[in-house]
Amino acid sequence: MKLQQYQLPCLSLSSYLIGDESSGRAVVVDPQRDIGQYLADAAEHSLEITHVLLTHFHADYVSGHLELAEATGAEICLSAVAEAEFPITHLADGDRIELGDVVIQTWQTPGHTPESATFLVFEHAGDDVPAAILTGDTLFVNDVGRPDLLGAIGFTAEQLGAQLYDSVHRLLSLPDEVLVYPGHGAGSACGKALGSDPFTTVGEQRTENYALQPMSKEDFVALVTEGQPAAPSYFLHDAITNRQQHEVFDEAGPFEPIGFEGAVAALDDGSVIVDTRDPVEFALGHIRGSVNVPLDGRFAEQAGMVVPADADVIVAGEPEREREARTRLGRIGFDRASRYIADYAVQLVEHPDLVGVSRRLVASDVAGLDLADVQLLDVRNPGETAAGVIPGAIEIPLGALPQRRDELDDGRPVVAYCASGQRSSVAASWLRREGFDDVADVIGGYQAWELLGASMS
């Protein structure tokens, strides 16, 4: 048996290739949209990808099921209750896919979504106990999937949470030694306390996972819905897209340069310029009205928090990395990123009349603010702010900022901060684009504030 895990840190995503090397047949589970790595590894090990298995319809990325099906002819397999616009092989509870001696069995484990499934992997067809389980977003390392993401389309957190309780306790019926391979790791917004280990065991989760300790179903639902990070607005777009028959993603597809002045003019037509440079570089000079989302970070996720999914996106950033930004936007279904500004840094120098700068403060500046005059904005997630905030701050997570914009007064100055100074640059640039005239952010964020307090004590 070959079981290969692929990790995509910027989306905290794990996907899998499982093959029977004696028969040469393989499946891919929860693929990312750019599929080259699966095809290359399958070819290297003389494996034919015959099935694409989805544990559920993902909300945090557009999966590569259509891309793999087109490239290999593989069947797309989902839970028996899943409905989609494209052909599906439905898997009922207990259904088995025989790759040869290696067998994959389906368990229905609803809760994160109604169609969530777990795949049990048996190294030998006659084994009574699986070697591993691929749990998708049902069970993570030290966490469980959140049950509140589908509330906007007809399911309550209470309904799904009750199902999730039953599903994770079904998984606990397996022996302690069974390996657990989850769909996400630390940093994912699909849970609130995911561990960073790439895999775990049923036994470890039985003792270490806060959500699997003895408690009533009602207490479980209350516990796993409390303190969840704000779901980015693109999640609903991706959950719907993953059900649709849509165009496959081509990494080498059209991506055209646009002139500096043409990019500025496109802002008036509703296009969004995404500046992918470091916040320090962005602050020193950028196209007025552009949004700063640093490429070296959780780029696609943060772009999806503040950029509309149907917007035409123009990429501005470091030379030779523009297509990387396009690919990463494509992973979350932002397929209208079709243009970039060539020689961006040079163009900024040559068009000073179209360039803006950003104001950034240090922690000691914040200590001197009069909050009667300034709106102090904390854009961290609830799990972060629970450990402390700067006194007087308004708490609006970055992922909720577009929906809660009206809680801020665009006629008063805003000072935004996050944990370290990256998300605050995203927030501040987005607010300026939205018409806030006086916006600054805090270098070093809350970490710098804590250090300042420690040095003064």
One domain, residues 283 and 432: no
**Bridge partners for 90 per DSSP:** 78
250 found inside a domain: no
One domain, residues 53 and 36: yes
pLDDT at 189: 87
Confidence of residue 192 (pLDDT cuts 50, 70, 90): confident
Picking from 213, 241, 269, the residue at the C-terminal end of a domain is 241
Q: What mean pLDDT is predicted for residues 98-119?
A: 97
pLDDT at 228: 86
What average pLDDT is seen over the chain?
A: 95
One domain, residues 226 and 116: yes
Give tens-digit pLDDT for 346-375. 999 999 999 999 999 999 999 999 989 999
Confidence of residue 412 (pLDDT cuts 50, 70, 90): very high
Q: Hey, how many other C-beta atoms are within 10 angstroms of the C-beta on 230? A: 20
Q: What mean pLDDT is predicted for residues 147-154?
A: 75
Q: What mean pLDDT is predicted for residues 127-148?
A: 97
For 403, the domain range is: 359-456
pLDDT at 258: 96
Q: Is residue 454 over pLDDT 90?
A: no
Q: How many domains does the chain have?
A: 3
Indicate if 10 belongs to the active site. Answer: no
Confidence of residue 151 (pLDDT cuts 50, 70, 90): low
64 found inside a domain: yes
249 found inside a domain: no
Q: Is residue 152 over pLDDT 60?
A: no
251 found inside a domain: no
Q: Is residue 457 over pLDDT 60?
A: no
One domain, residues 352 and 363: no
One domain, residues 167 and 212: yes
**Distance in angstroms between the alpha carbons of the first and the last residue of the chain:** 59
Beta strands in 249-305 (DSSP E): 256-257, 272-275, 286-287, 291-292
386 found inside a domain: yes
381 found inside a domain: yes
Confidence of residue 408 (pLDDT cuts 50, 70, 90): very high
Q: Is residue 121 over pLDDT 80?
A: yes
One domain, residues 322 and 401: no
Picking from 356, 388, 403, the residue at the C-terminal end of a domain is 356
Give tens-digit pLDDT for 247-305. 999 998 889 999 999 999 999 999 999 999 999 999 999 999 999 999 998 999 999 99
Question: 271: domain CATH number?
Answer: 3.40.250.10
- CA gap 163, 155 in Å, rounded: 11
Q: Is residue 376 over pLDDT 90?
A: yes
Question: 187: domain CATH number?
Answer: 3.60.15.10
Backbone angles phi, psi at 349, to 5 degrees: -65, -35
301 found inside a domain: yes
Q: Enumerate residues 6+ apart whose C-beta is below 8 A from 295.
A: 276, 277, 317, 318, 321, 324, 325, 328
One domain, residues 412 and 285: no
pLDDT at 456: 64
One domain, residues 140 and 179: yes
One domain, residues 19 and 156: yes
pLDDT at 229: 85
Backbone angles phi, psi at 201, to 5 degrees: -130, 160
Answer whether 244's CB lies under 8 Å from 85's CB.
yes
The H or E element spanning position 329 is helix 322-330
Picking from 331, 356, 381, the residue at the C-terminal end of a domain is 356
One domain, residues 351 and 363: no
Confidence of residue 60 (pLDDT cuts 50, 70, 90): very high
247 found inside a domain: no
Q: Enumerate residues 6+ apart whose C-beta is below 8 A from 194.
A: 12, 140, 141, 142, 143, 182, 184, 185, 186, 187, 188
Q: What is the pTM of this model?
A: 0.94
Interhelix angle 299-306/322-330, rounded to 10 degrees, is 70
Q: Is residue 224 over pLDDT 80?
A: yes
One domain, residues 30 and 87: yes
Catalytic residue among 10, 77, 190, 418: 418
Q: What mean pLDDT is predicted for residues 151-167?
A: 87
One domain, residues 304 and 366: no
How many Cα atoms occupy the beta-carbon half-sphere of 426 within 13 Å? Answer: 31
